[in-house]
Chain A
Amino acid sequence: MRIVDHPILGKIKERKKVFIEVDGKKIEAYEGEPIAAALLAAGIRVFRFTAKEKEPRGVFCAIGRCTDCIMTVDGIPNVRTCVTPVRDGMKIKTQVGLGKWEQK
């Protein structure tokens, strides 16, 4: 959910709206915001599944430290979505295990 108005920070700034694709589904995002923020805003909280136990993982630290939020972005696995900015047309995939490099 987006925090449109805020008692201290005021109304959210106008930003350029773009679209990204998450597991084939188109979602709205704002250019420059971290991928993780766009996904959380869209209500997506499961970002990947672990290699052995296939357990779900999502955002934990949001500052690029813990690597829990990694996904496959434009064919590149293990991208820290909390510190990687959104670009229009990005293709994001829920990652399973170590992920795979994909041909572009």
Chain B
Amino acid sequence: MKEAEITVIGAGPAGLSAAIEAAKYGANVEIIDENALPGGQLFKQIHKFFGSKEHYAGTRGYDIGRKLLSEAENLKVVIKLNTVAFGVFDKNKIGLFDQKDILISKPKKIIIATGASENPLAFPGWTLPGVMGAGAVQTMINIHRVLPGKKVLMVGAGNVGLIVSYQLLQAGADVVAIVEAMPKIGGYFVHAAKVLRMGVPILTSHTIIEAKGEKEVESATIAALDQNWNLIKGSEKELDVDLICIAVGLKPEADLCRMLNCEFTYVPFLGGRIPLHNEDMETTIPGVYVAGDVSGVEEASVAIEEGRIAGISAAESLGYISEEESEKERMKCKNRLKAFRIGPFGSPRQEGKNKVFEEYKRRTKNVK
């Protein structure tokens, strides 16, 4: 087989979209993914997505995953599953392990679309079996069809906490409460409204203080917080739960970018340390692109557009598409991205991205 010109790491929404775009213009693309199934986290998203028609609005996540997969397949994109990209060396050597052998891939361009991982939250008892990431629970219920507990406490009322709570109800569990340390719900009103009208209380300015149980979770103690985030004495309450879900944000999985010595910046609103990149999704290492949550935690619809941009940019740098045409195609994606980054939820993300773009400019100028 011909060696791939572009290696995409991660077969989630960003990686698939990047590969599709680059392959569309004729580039020879491979995708590496350590999982047994492609799609990243899309197949566990069983709710309908927001946005406009161009953003696949109204379509459930797993259907978007199916669409992207069949597009990639039609374009003969090779997806290597069960394959871990354990390192990147000399800018273009990717170390792979396919569960049997160690292989080296030497593409001309690399697109890193490795997504994000869930933040843990430490409290007494947090290591007990029965304390799980909300995304982990989502994987279990929606992909593997296994309910890891029956009575649930959700910690965090961002969109992940709210959506997974609703999905737990759909799976037949009882969500006893959602606690949120912030004084207000972080996720969308409509997601909160869905769980509230099912009778799930959302307790803002509340947090978990302990998970109790001999060998696994048997109960959770929650308490109220004052304006200064101090525990209000006497407000402790023990909840009879057997599963505690942690939904306190995600952070970019940017280890490969670190190995490459990409430059980073810190944007708390996008999940912490973000590899610097420009609007065309190229990092401070020429020929290395990022897309999706690894370049700042947002959502799948954004990951798709960023992936497209990275794919177009990589194809352009290989000469498959003229600068003019790629600029035109990228502009379409950028306009759709813009639509997602306005309003009270979107504009802080746009500000965060602007900071990343500006710092990229400043630092690459100094280098040159």
Chain A 53-69 against B: per-residue CB contact (8 Å), 1 yes, 0 no?
00111111111111010
Chain A residue, CB-CB nearest to B172: A3
Q: How far is the CB of B123 from chain A (nearest CB, A)?
A: 14
Most buried by A among B34, B137, B145: B145
Q: Are B216 and A45 in contact (CB under 8 A)?
A: yes
Q: How far is the CB of A6 from chain B (nearest CB, A)?
A: 7
Q: Are A61 and B216 in contact (CB under 8 A)?
A: no
Identify whether the interface residues of B are mostly helix, strand, loop, or mixed. loop
Q: Are A56 and B128 in contact (CB under 8 A)?
A: yes
Q: How far is the CB of A34 from chain B (nearest CB, A)?
A: 7
B362 at the interface (CB under 8 A from A): no
Q: Are A45 and B148 in contact (CB under 8 A)?
A: yes
Q: How far is the CB of B174 from chain A (nearest CB, A)?
A: 12
B224 at the interface (CB under 8 A from A): no
Contact of B117 among A6, A45, A57, A61 (CB under 8 A): A61
Q: How far is the CB of A38 from chain B (nearest CB, A)?
A: 8
Q: What A residues does B364 contact at CB under 8 A?
A: none
Identify whether the interface residues of A are mostly helix, strand, loop, or mixed. loop
Q: A59-B129, A62-B136 are in contact. Are A3 and B117 (CB under 8 A)?
A: no
Contact of A59 among B147, B148, B170 (CB under 8 A): B148
Chain A residue, CB-CB nearest to B214: A56
Q: What separation, in Å, do the CA atoms of A45 and B35 have in the docked complex?
A: 23
Q: A12-B145, A57-B127, A58-B216 are in contact. Are A37 and B140 (CB under 8 A)?
A: yes
B2 at the interface (CB under 8 A from A): no
Q: What B residues does A36 contact at CB under 8 A?
A: 140
Q: What A residues does B22 contact at CB under 8 A?
A: none
Chain B 143-178 against A: per-residue CB contact (8 Å), 1 yes, 0 no?
011111010000000000000000000111000000
Query: On chain A, which size bracket covers the interface?
Result: 20 to 34
Q: What B residues does A56 contact at CB under 8 A?
A: 128-129, 215-216
B141 at the interface (CB under 8 A from A): yes
Chain B residue, CB-CB nearest to A85: B36
Q: What A residues does B146 contact at CB under 8 A?
A: 1-3, 37, 40-41
Q: Are A62 and B132 in contact (CB under 8 A)?
A: yes
Chain A 25-59 against B: per-residue CB contact (8 Å), 1 yes, 0 no?
00000000110110011000111000000011111
Q: Are A3 and B136 in contact (CB under 8 A)?
A: no
Q: How far is the CB of A21 from chain B (nearest CB, A)?
A: 19
Chain B residue, CB-CB nearest to A4: B145
Q: What separation, in Å, do the CA atoms of A4 and B141 have in the docked complex?
A: 11
Q: Which of B88-138 contact A (CB under 8 A)?
A: 117-118, 120, 127-133, 135-137
Give 6 A-B pairs besides A34-B144, A61-B117, A68-B127 with Cβ atoms closer than 8 angstroms: A4-B145, A7-B170, A45-B129, A58-B132, A62-B135, A62-B137
